[in-house]
Chain A
Amino acid sequence: KNEVEQSPQNLTAQEGEFITINCSYSVGISALHWLQQHPGGGIVSLFMLSSGKKKHGRLIATINIQEKHSSLHITASHPRDSAVYICAVRRGSNYKLTFGKGTLLTVNP
């Protein structure tokens, strides 16, 4: 079993829909990252969480440490949100990240 599991693997939505991507992990962590990867490579860091909730524009990330679960929400989705969303965890003071396989989001106009 991978240390970091994401669901769903693929998600197709219509423009304007509310999107939820889930991440579960099986180890103790010091931080969880959500990243966005567009076709062609480029990975951008969206959030880093160690507790609670963070919001940036239409993106919201939450984490429940006790349940070892995090969610990434996108409100009022737009075709430009189409990308792979990756969850990654950091254990302890080590900077090494362990990544999930990613969720491919396609938002249709």
Chain B
Amino acid sequence: GAGVSQSPRYKVAKRGQDVALRCDPISGHVSLFWYQQALGQGPEFLTYFQNEAQLDKSGLPSDRFFAERPEGSVSTLKIQRTQQEDSAVYLCASTAANTDTQYFGPGTRLTVL
């Protein structure tokens, strides 16, 4: 596809469930970012990949959050034992090599009941 895609677009989980959110970056894009956006707030950085290497995971809020990008393309953000405070929109963005412009996906809106 031409842009960054994310799935599912909407996810409702019961507290305590595990969820997996998928990001398909633009083909050939080297860098991939995950962000969390709470209602009425700007996005907040979660983690950054360059190819398959996770270079920065300083924004992951707890050890319940885990991200991977095993083949340097598709990435999955996994949240274990979801809690209500995890409810947010999770955004993925990718960039081509040696550029700064981030291309964002539509996001996954996670609601934890």
Contacts and interface: CB of A to CB of B under 8 A. Distances in A.
Contacts of B101: 45, 48
A15 B102 CA distance: 30
B106 interface: yes
A96 B48 contact: yes
Nearest to A86: B42
A94 B91 CA distance: 19
A19 B60 CA distance: 36
Interface residues of A, number: 23
Interface residues of B, number: 25
Interface string A30-47: 010101000011111100
B26 to A, nearest CB: 13
A94 B56 contact: yes
Interface string B26-42: 00000101010000111
Nearest to A44: B104
A100 to B, nearest CB: 5
Nearest to B59: A96
B45 interface: yes
Interface of B: 31, 33, 35, 40-45, 48, 56, 59, 89, 91, 93, 95, 100-107, 109
Interface of A: 4, 31, 33, 35, 40-45, 48, 86, 88, 90, 94-102
Given A44-B104, A45-B102, 16 more contacts: A31-B100, A41-B89, A41-B107, A42-B106, A42-B107, A43-B43, A48-B101, A88-B42, A96-B33, A99-B35, A99-B42, A99-B44, A100-B42, A101-B40, A101-B42, A102-B41
